[in-house]
Structure 1
Amino acid sequence: MPIVKERIGIRSTVRDNYLMFIVEGVVKELEEEKGLVLSATNPYHFMFVVDYSAWRYANRDSMDGMPRHLQFRLHNLILNGGVKDDI
């Protein structure tokens, strides 16, 4: 979560709980809905979660869809073997 805060530009701890739930929600969505097998030691996975969480935070009241750069990265994660075998 500290990297998400850096990405957004937050220095205080006021929104830590909210940000924590966003990050946990993003990870759960990627694992359970998209079927990805994420690794905390993979910098590509880590930075995707950071960028996706930061986008979710910044667009919490928006009905706009996911930006193309995040869509491309998500598709690449799925195509490059990050999906569970049983899906």
Structure 2
Amino acid sequence: MDTVVIVGLLKERLGIRTAVRDTYLEAIVNGVVTELADEKGIRLVASNAAHLMFAVDYATWHYQSRDSSEAMPRHLQYRLHNLMISAGGAAREL
């Protein structure tokens, strides 16, 4: 998965126009992609728009909830579970 594209879309979603937070946003995106692959068994495919937008939404939630103890929003849980089911529980590309 091309993390540069995810970071670009994440910045658009958050309304960030400068490169001041790029290092932090890149770390979040890399963490999200690694978490999905290593812990959830989901290898994101760059050509799949649903995968791309899930990564953006998931990274957005990570960024916005960094100081919060609230649970993951239901729509993200639902999409994550669907991705995990379609991966079949194995670490493979979808």
State the TM-score, normalized to the length of structure 1: 0.91
Q: Using the alignment, how far apart are the partners of 2:35 and 2:91 within structure 1?
A: 17
**Residue 31 of structure 1 aligns with which residue?**
37
Partner of 1:17: 23
1:85/1:27 CA distance change after superposition, 3 Å: closer
Matched, 1:56 2:62: yes
Structure 2 gap segments, 5+ residues each = 1-6
CA distance in structure 2 between the aligned counterparts of 1:85 and 1:21, rounded to whole angstroms? 22
Q: Secondary structure of 2:82's partner?
A: helix
Among all aligned residue pairs of Structure 1 and Structure 2, give the percentage whose two residues are the same amino acid.
55
Retained in 2: the 8 A contact 1:4–1:54? yes
- How many matched pairs? 86
CA contact (8 A) 2:32 2:58 kept: yes
**Residue 12 of structure 1, CA deviation:** 0.9
Q: After the TM superposition, which segments of 4 or more aligned residues of structure 1 sit over 6 Å from their partners?
A: none
Measure, in 2, the Cα distance between the counterparts of 1:45 and 1:82. 16
1:46 maps to 2:44: no
Provide the rounded CA distance (Å) in 2 between the counterparts of 1:46 and 1:78.
15
Q: Is the 8 A contact 2:9 2:56 kept in 1?
A: yes
Q: How big is the shift at 1:85?
A: 6.0
What is the root-mean-square deviation of aligned Cα atoms in Å? 1.6
- Contact kept? 2:11, 2:17, Cα under 8 Å: yes
List runs of 5+ in structure 1 lacking aligned partners: none
